[in-house]
Structure 1
């Protein structure tokens, strides 16, 4: 069996080498010729899996080691009788920890604010619900908005109330353009006008959920603290935008070793089910032991002392800004940052809590 895999997938050899030849490739530039004689295709969100890619190929299975599916043309896959799987929730813990790290980087005093600080979470799926749990461990007040789920442990409000009330807003929704609740440009001029001028905005979901032009205009009057891990026109990111944003990272919010490994594990399990193979491998066996920063320490005290050792988010910010060339981020440099990213470990690996 021939398996074509994105070169940035974690533990591909461990999970898939027993099944045949693995051909690794750059996911953003995959063509129909690259996958024509493959039976399985393993991708991330940078690969558009559509009719043009899969037509007249031997593909029987597509696995995406990502939480989203907007890069998959599911109708086309089903039309060609190709089984598919994504990895919903694989990096949810990593993204939740990213958001908390970003908030504490921008405003370290938040760690002692307790219920005086209100975090608003838009989207209460795998990531949003985990973020709510972790935020409550810090004593923060949490409100959430999601028309599709009802979380008994989270105070849910309408979007307008969340926008007006929250001291920080973190977005965790898929990218959709149709239906009753589309998320494309969900955060636009009107939404930004409803927010407190000083409220922090964090987008680690999908870039086009936030309208870039509206964000730039808003910043000119509010100087709002903003964290962006994703961008509307990614990988084309303008110097104008980067120069306004307080914290920027190269689409790596979910890039923990556990998250990456868990994502590959999930598509491995689906692959085995599709081809009737025995799934007998576990990613945990491949993870090295970490220093235990949280042992015998209060959570807040441990974070004050060790958070920068667990995840130096400022390094990611400076590395992305260093990719600016002739007024915008260089695409090859952006992709190289992601390809060579030193995967951080989740708090649990250091003896800390997880949702």
Structure 2
């Protein structure tokens, strides 16, 4: 280790930061959305989430040589610019995949509980078959649903791999799990637009827990006005700015917390801890599991998931409570207050993944 302690600037909402890093470096915490160049000037490392835009300008003149983002995506980081500046970037792909998959299934069954017994008569379309999409596919198949998916870069052996248009046309529900990209033949910015919605069944409901700008908000509002489509949003095109008009048209809305399980957040911090230690040539013996409390056994391993899940959902995750908490932030101008949105995320009571209660996750 260096003669002088390393210095870290960290988003205050990261999980288990002290456990993983306190004996390795001096840590200063900041609100992620407000991190500025003056904050990082003397830091050796910056640890963030998706709300911090990390650019060469933010780090220019600083001692930062490592950026760790406890997130599955990197669209908030100028990867090219940081590479030119010889700054290592690490993130946490797949860290909260199980949490997001459980969120999606919870949303579906909260709105349409009868689907638990629909079997292959219910078709779930997954757009994006990476870490999250593939995890969701496995969970949906455990419920006996037909699962179709589309991804230009991934083919899953146990999923019907179709093109985008086929998924749009055949799905009874569509869940989005793509990164936000603005260029190239497979750009995802406004992937869901007026043309896309026109290709979907009117009663196909939509869940977006990926990135807000993948869905055109205006096209979505126009479509809901025509079809009365059920829509669940955890992310928003103009986040954290959310209008009452949009909320009034949504079946469920949550404050970007689909992946906010204790396991998911802890796993994300552990992944950047391991990369941090490798970068600075330090040992990395710690595991997040040692920090998690034991939970009661709720699942019966002798029964299939679909025979017990509905009864357990109220104990596992009350998604309507998150919806109500977000709507409670509407101000007199008909907008969700941005500070309220960030407060909900900062103070979110991290839920536990189903495996903590005895579910036999594949």
Shift of residue 43 of structure 1? 0.1
CA contact (8 A) 2:109 2:310 kept: no
Structure 1 position 180 matched with structure 2 position 185: yes
Task: Assess if the C-alpha contact under 8 Å between 1:116 and 1:141 holds in 2.
Answer: yes
Q: In the alignment, what sits opposite 1:321?
A: 327
Give, in angstroms, the shift of residue 354 of structure 1. Answer: 2.2
Whether 2:348 is the aligned partner of 1:341: answer: yes
8, 11, 14: which one pairs with 1:6? Answer: 11
Q: What pairs up with 1:220-239 in 2 under 5 angstroms?
A: 220-239=225-244
In the TM superposition, residue 178 of structure 1 has moved relative to its aligned partner by 0.8
1:106 aligns with 2:121: no
- Structure 1 position 265 matched with structure 2 position 262: no
Unaligned runs of 5+ in 2: 1-5
Tell me, yes or no, if structure 1 residue 160 matches structure 2 residue 165: yes
- CA deviation digits over 1:42-94, x for unaligned, max 9? 00000000122111110010000000000000112111111110000000000
Separation of aligned partners in 2, 1:311 and 1:321: 18
Alignment partner, residue 78 of structure 1: 83
Structure 1: stretches of 5+ with no match in the other structure: none
Contact kept? 1:293, 1:302, Cα under 8 Å: no
Partner SS state of residue 99, structure 1: helix
1:312 matches 2:321 = no
* Pairing 1:354–2:361 present: yes
**Of 203, 206, 209, which aligns to 2:211?**
206
Deviations 1:218-273 (A, max 9, x none): 01110000000000000001110000000000000000000000000000000000
- Map Cα deviations across residues 121-173 of structure 1 (whole Å, 9 max, x no partner): 00000000010000000000000000101111111101101101000000000
CA apart distance, 1:301: 2.6
**Between 7-16 and 320-329, the greater mean CA deviation after superposition:** 320-329
How does the TM-score come out when normalised to structure 2? 0.97
Q: Which runs of 4+ in 1 moved over 2 A?
A: 295-298
What aligned pairs does 1:95-174 form with structure 2 within 5 A after superposition? Answer: 95-174=100-179
Take 2:335 and 2:21, find their aligned partners in 1: how far apart are those partners?
38
TM-score, normalised by the number of residues in structure 1 = 0.99
Tell me the equivalent position of 1:286.
291
Q: What residue is the counterpart of 2:93 in the other structure?
A: 88
